[in-house]
Amino acid sequence: MSTNNNNEFPVEFPKGKSPSSPLMAMSRRQLLKRGAAVGSSFLVGGGFVAASTASWAVEVKGLEPQTMAALVQIARDIYPHDRFGDELYAAAVKGHDEKAAEDPAFKQLLEAGVAALNSLAQVRGHPDYLQTGWESDRVDILKTMEASEFFQTIRGGLVVGLYNQPAVWTLLGYEGSSHEHGGYITRGFDDINWV
Amino acid sequence: MTAPFDVNDDSVVVIIGTGAGGGTLANELAQKGISVVALEAGGRHLPQDYLNDEWPSFSQLAWTDMRTTSGDWRVAKDFANLPAWIVKAVGGSTVHWAGASLRLQDHEFRAKTHYGEVDGANLLDWPVTLAELEPYYDKAEDKMGVTRTNGIEGLPGNNNFKVLKAGADKMGYKDCHSGRMAINSVERDGRPACRQLGFCFQGCKMGAKWSTAYTEIPKGELTGNLEVRENAHVLMVNHDDTGKVTGVVYQDADGNQIEQKARVVCVAGNSIESPRILLNSASSMFADGLANSSGQVGKNYMRHMTGSVYGVFEKPVNMYRGTTMAGIITDESRHDPSRGFVGGYEMETLSLGVPFMAAFLNPGGWGREFTAAMDMYENMAGMWLVGEDMPQESNGVTLSDAKDQFGMPVANVHFDDHPNDIAMRNHAYKQGMALYDSVGATQTYPTPPYPSTHNMGTLRMSTDASDGVVNGFGQSHDIANLFVSDGSQFTTGGAENPTLTIVSLAIRQADYIAQQMTEKSI
Ligand SMILES: Cc1cc2nc3c(=O)[nH]c(=O)nc-3n(C[C@H](O)[C@H](O)[C@H](O)COP(=O)(O)OP(=O)(O)OC[C@H]3O[C@@H](n4cnc5c(N)ncnc54)[C@H](O)[C@@H]3O)c2cc1C
Ligand code: SF4
Domain that holds residue A42: 2-181
- Cβ–Cβ < 8 Å for B75, B415: yes
Q: Determine the residue of B28, B86, B505 to mutate for testing ligand 1's pocket, defined as the one with the most ligand atoms within 8 A of the Cβ atom.
A: B86
Å between A43 CA and nearest CA of chain B: 25
Give the position, in ligand 2's atom list, of the atom nearest the Cα of B202.
Answer: 5
Q: In angstroms, what is the span from residue A193 Cα to ligand 1's centroid?
A: 37
CB-CB neighbours of B188 under 10 Å: 14
Phi then psi dihedrals of residue B310, to 5 deg: -110, 135
3-state secondary structure string, chain A? CECCCCCCCCCCCCCCCCCCCHHHHCCHHHHHHHEEEECCCEEEECCEEEECCCCCEEECCCCCHHHHHHHHHHHHHHCCCCCCCHHHHHHHHHHHHHHHHHCHHHHHHHHHHHHHHHHHHHHCCCCCCCCCCCHHHHHHHHHHCCCCHHHHHHHHHHHHHCCCCHHHHHHHCCCCCCHHHCCCCCCCCCCCCCC
A2, A78, A169: residue with CB nearest B70: A2
Model confidence at A34, pLDDT cuts 50, 70, 90, reads confident
Ligand 1 binding pocket includes B88 (Cβ within 6 Å): yes
Chains A–B, number of C-beta pairs less than 8 Å apart: 167
Closest by CA to B300, choosing from B375, B183, B379, B395, is B395
ipTM over 0.85: yes
Rounded Cα–Cα distance for residues A149 and A155 (Å):
10
- Specify if A165 maps to a domain: yes
- Specify if A191 maps to a domain: no
The pLDDT value given to residue A35? 83
The pLDDT value given to residue A4? 38
Q: In angstroms, what is the span from residue B461 Cα to ligand 1's centroid?
A: 19
B86 touches chain A (CB under 8 A): no
Rounded Cα–Cα distance for residues B39 and B267 (Å):
10
- Specify if A155 maps to a domain: yes
- What's the whole-number average pLDDT of chain A? 89
- Cβ–Cβ < 8 Å for B379, B356: no
* More reliable by pLDDT, B395 or A30: B395
Q: In angstroms, what is the span from residue B503 Cα to ligand 1's centroid?
A: 11
Q: How far is CA B488 from CA B31, B505, B506, in A?
A: 25, 11, 12
Taking only residues 179 to 198 of chain B, the set having a beta carbon closer than 8 angstroms to any beta carbon of chain A reads 194-198
Residue A25 pLDDT greater than 80, yes or no: no
Q: How far is CA B63 from CA A7, A159, B105, B297, B377, in A?
A: 14, 20, 31, 22, 28
- Specify if A195 maps to a domain: no
Q: In angstroms, what is the span from residue A159 Cα to ligand 2's centroid?
A: 26
Give the position, in ligand 2's atom list, of the atom nearest the Cα of A183.
Answer: 6
Rounded Cα–Cα distance for residues A178 and A184 (Å):
7
Contacts of residue B300, defined as CB under 8 A and 6 or more positions apart, other chains included, come to: B122, B391, B392, B393, B395, B396, B457, B458, B460
pLDDT in tens, A141-187: 999 999 999 999 999 999 999 999 999 999 999 999 999 999 999 99
Q: Which residues have CB under 6 Å of ligand 2?
A: A 183; B 183, 194-200, 204, 206, 208-209, 322-323
Ramachandran assignment for B513, one of left (phi > 0), alpha (psi -120 to 50 degrees), beta (any other): alpha
Rounded Cα–Cα distance for residues B421 and B403 (Å):
32
The pLDDT value given to residue A20? 55
Rounded Cα–Cα distance for residues B180 and B161 (Å):
13
Ligand 1 binding pocket includes B502 (Cβ within 6 Å): yes
The pLDDT value given to residue B2? 63
Å between A115 CA and nearest CA of chain B: 21
Q: Which residues of B478-516 are buried (b: 16+ CB within 10 A; e: fewer)?
A: bbebbbbbbbbbbbbbbbbbbbbbbbbbbbbbbebbbeb
Model confidence at A6, pLDDT cuts 50, 70, 90, reads very low
- Specify if A97 maps to a domain: yes
The pLDDT value given to residue B184? 98
Residue A14 pLDDT greater than 50, yes or no: no
- Specify if A19 maps to a domain: yes
Closest residue in A to B368 (Cα) is A80
Q: In angstroms, what is the span from residue B250 Cα to ligand 2's centroid?
A: 34
Give me the residues paired with residue B131 across strands.
none
**Total domains present in chain A:** 1
Q: List chain A residues with CB under 8 Å of B51.
A: 177
- Cβ–Cβ < 8 Å for B456, B471: no
Ligand 1 binding pocket includes B21 (Cβ within 6 Å): yes
A12, A158, A195: best mutation site toward chain B, by most B Cβ within 10 Å?
A195
B398 touches chain A (CB under 8 A): no
Å between A161 CA and nearest CA of chain B: 10
Q: In angstroms, what is the span from residue B28 Cα to ligand 2's centroid?
A: 26
- Specify if A186 maps to a domain: no
The pLDDT value given to residue A13? 45
B51, B76, B156: residue with CB nearest A190: B156
Q: Determine the residue of B323, B325, B349 to mutate for testing ligand 2's pocket, defined as the one with the most ligand atoms within 8 A of the Cβ atom.
A: B323
- Specify if A193 maps to a domain: no
- Mean pLDDT per block of 10 residues along chain B (522 residues) reads 86 98 98 98 97 97 96 94 97 98 98 97 98 98 98 98 98 98 98 97 98 98 98 98 98 97 98 98 98 98 98 98 98 98 98 98 96 98 98 98 96 98 98 98 97 98 98 98 98 98 98 98 96
B368 touches chain A (CB under 8 A): yes
Taking only residues 421 to 450 of chain B, the set having a beta carbon closer than 8 angstroms to any beta carbon of chain A reads 439
